[in-house]
Structure 1
Amino acid sequence: MEYQRFVLGDLRVNSFLVWSGREAGIIDPGEPAGELLAALEKRDLQLKWIVNTHGHADHIGGNAQLQAATGAPIWIHKEDRPMLTSAEANLSAWLGAPIISPDAAGTLQDGDTLKLGEERLTIIETPGHTPGGISLYFPGLLFSGDALFRESIGRTDFPGGSASKLIQVIKERLFQLPPSTLVWPGHETSTTIEHEIRFNPYFQ
C-alpha cells in the first residue's frame, strides 16, 4: 500500500491518497480537491472510493468535487452519514461557508474492509470526536481521523462528542495495535502507537 498526504483547506486537514497497483482511494478529502485530482491523473490511478473518517466539514469538503470528476462512491459510518448533507450538523454553517456533500453510497462499520488491488484497509470504529468516527488500518499504518493525535486526542466539545468514549476506544482498540504502527491523524504530524502509549498525557 502506497500513500501521499495533502494538507488542504483553511483548517489544514490531512487528506490522503492511497493506492495499490492502479486502484486508489481517498481518505478525508479537503477543499479544494484539485491537488488530489491532479495526483490521480499524474499517477494514472482509478479512484475506487472516497472515505470520510467522520462528518465534519473540513474532512468532507472535497467530496462533491471528487465525485463529480470521478464518479467514485462515498463511504462513512452510519452515525455520521446525516452530517454529509447538513451544513448545521457538519459545522460548516458556523463558519459562514456551508458545505453540502453528496450522500454516501453506503455505510461502514467495525471490521469492514476496503479493497485496493490485492490489499485491504480495515475499519476500526473510534467514536468520541463524533458519534460515527472511524479509523482505517493497514498493517503498520493507521489513519486515525480526529481520534488520536500526537500527544493529544480529538476535541469532544462538539455536538455528539464524548471524551470518556474516545479515551476508552483508543485504549481498547488503537493501543492494541503493534507499537511500531505509524499513525497519521486528521491534522498535523504523524506519530506511532508506542509514542502515544508512552507520552500522550491523556493516558498517563
Structure 2
Amino acid sequence: MSRMTQTQQHAHLSVRTLVTGPLQENALLVRDAAGQGFVVDPGDEGERLLREIEAFGLRPQAIVLTHAHFDHLGAVEQLRTTLGIPVLLHPADLEIYRSASQSAARWGMNVIQPADPDAFLTPGEVLQAGDVHLTVRELPGHAPGHVILKGTDFVLAGDTLFRGSIGRTDLPGGDHVQLIQGITRELLSLPDDTVVYPGHGGATTVGRERLHNPFL
C-alpha cells in the first residue's frame, strides 16, 4: 500500500496529496497560512490521515466529497467522529453513498458505512475556510452527483480528468457523453496553467491535458 505524500503551494494556500488504500486514491488536504481549510475525499487509512492532518497544521472546517464511490470515503466516519466536522456531498450521489460498504464488499474490501452527510453541496456555492475558497461545480458522468472544486489556480477534479485519461463511465449512473461535455465546459475552459488534482494518479495541468490527453 502506497504511503506517498506530496505538497504543492498555490500562493498563500497549500495542497497536500495523500495516496490512500488499495485503489491508490488521492485524499487531499487544503489549507491557508493560518491552518484553516478542508479535507477532500478521505478514501482510506483514517489513522494515517488524522496524523497527516495534525502534521500539516490543518484545522478543517468540513469533509468534502467530490463523489460517493467507496474508495473516496472509506475514512469519512472516523474523521467525522474524531474531528467533529460535517460531511458535504452532492444529493444526486446519496444513493451511491448509502451503499458504499456493500459496493466495497463486492470488490473484496471493507469500508465502514458512514452515516448520512450533514449537508448537501449546491452547484455554484463557494466553500470558505479562512483564505481557502473552493467553488462547487457539477461535473457528472463518472457519478451522477460528481462535483469538482475550483480554487484560485487549481482544481480538485475527483475522478473526472486524470493525467492522460478520464474517469470511467461503466459504473452505475455513468454517462460518457455527459462526462466529456462536463470536462469541456468546466475544465478545458480554465487557463492552461491551472493545476488539476485528480482522484488517482499524479497532478497535471489543463494545458497538458488539452494537448496530450487521447480521450479529449
Structure 1 equivalent of residue 14 of structure 2: 2
Once the two structures are overlaid, the 10-residue window that deviates more, 60-69 or 42-51, is 42-51
- Contact (CA 8 Å) 1:54, 1:130: kept in 2 or not? yes
Offset of residue 101 of structure 1: 1.4
Structure 1 equivalent of residue 155 of structure 2: 142
Structure 1 equivalent of residue 134 of structure 2: 121
Please give the residue correspondences for 1:192-203 in structure 2 after superposition, counting only pairs within 5 Å.
Answer: 192-203=205-216
Offset of residue 61 of structure 1: 0.4
Structure 1 equivalent of residue 41 of structure 2: 28
Is residue 112 of structure 1 aligned with residue 125 of structure 2?
A: yes
Match for residue 72 of structure 1 among 68, 79, 85: 85
Q: Percent identity?
A: 38
1:148-183 C-alpha deviation (Å, 9 max, x unpaired): 011211000001000000001101121111111000
Q: Secondary structure at the match of 1:49?
A: strand
Structure 2 equivalent of residue 93 of structure 1: 105
Q: What 5-or-longer segments of structure 1 have no aligned partner?
A: none
- Contact (CA 8 Å) 1:54, 1:80: kept in 2 or not? yes
Cα distance in 1 for partners of 2:72, 2:24 equals 10
Q: TM-score, normalised by structure 1?
A: 0.94
1:91-144 C-alpha deviation (Å, 9 max, x unpaired): 213113353112111111321111120331111111000001111110111110
Q: TM-score, normalised by structure 2?
A: 0.89
What amino acid is aligned across from residue 96 of structure 1 in structure 2?
G
1:61-103 C-alpha deviation (Å, 9 max, x unpaired): 0101101111110001110122222237x72131133531121
- Contact (CA 8 Å) 1:17, 1:36: kept in 2 or not? no
Cα distance in 2 for partners of 1:5, 1:169 equals 24
Q: Give the count of matched residue pairs.
A: 202
What amino acid is aligned across from residue 30 of structure 2 in structure 1?
V
What amino acid is aligned across from residue 171 of structure 1 in structure 2?
T
- Contact (CA 8 Å) 1:81, 1:107: kept in 2 or not? no
Q: State the superposition RMSD in angstroms.
A: 1.4
- Contact (CA 8 Å) 2:67, 2:147: kept in 1 or not? yes
Cα distance in 1 for partners of 2:164, 2:55 equals 35
Match for residue 159 of structure 1 among 163, 172, 183: 172
Cα distance in 2 for partners of 1:116, 1:131 equals 27
- Contact (CA 8 Å) 2:134, 2:150: kept in 1 or not? yes
- Contact (CA 8 Å) 1:141, 1:183: kept in 2 or not? yes
Once the two structures are overlaid, the 10-residue window that deviates more, 97-106 or 136-145, is 97-106
Q: What 5-or-longer segments of structure 2 have no aligned partner?
A: 1-12
Cα distance in 2 for partners of 1:119, 1:144 equals 16
Offset of residue 53 of structure 1: 0.7
Structure 2 equivalent of residue 133 of structure 1: 146
What amino acid is aligned across from residue 153 of structure 1 in structure 2?
I
- Contact (CA 8 Å) 2:36, 2:132: kept in 1 or not? no
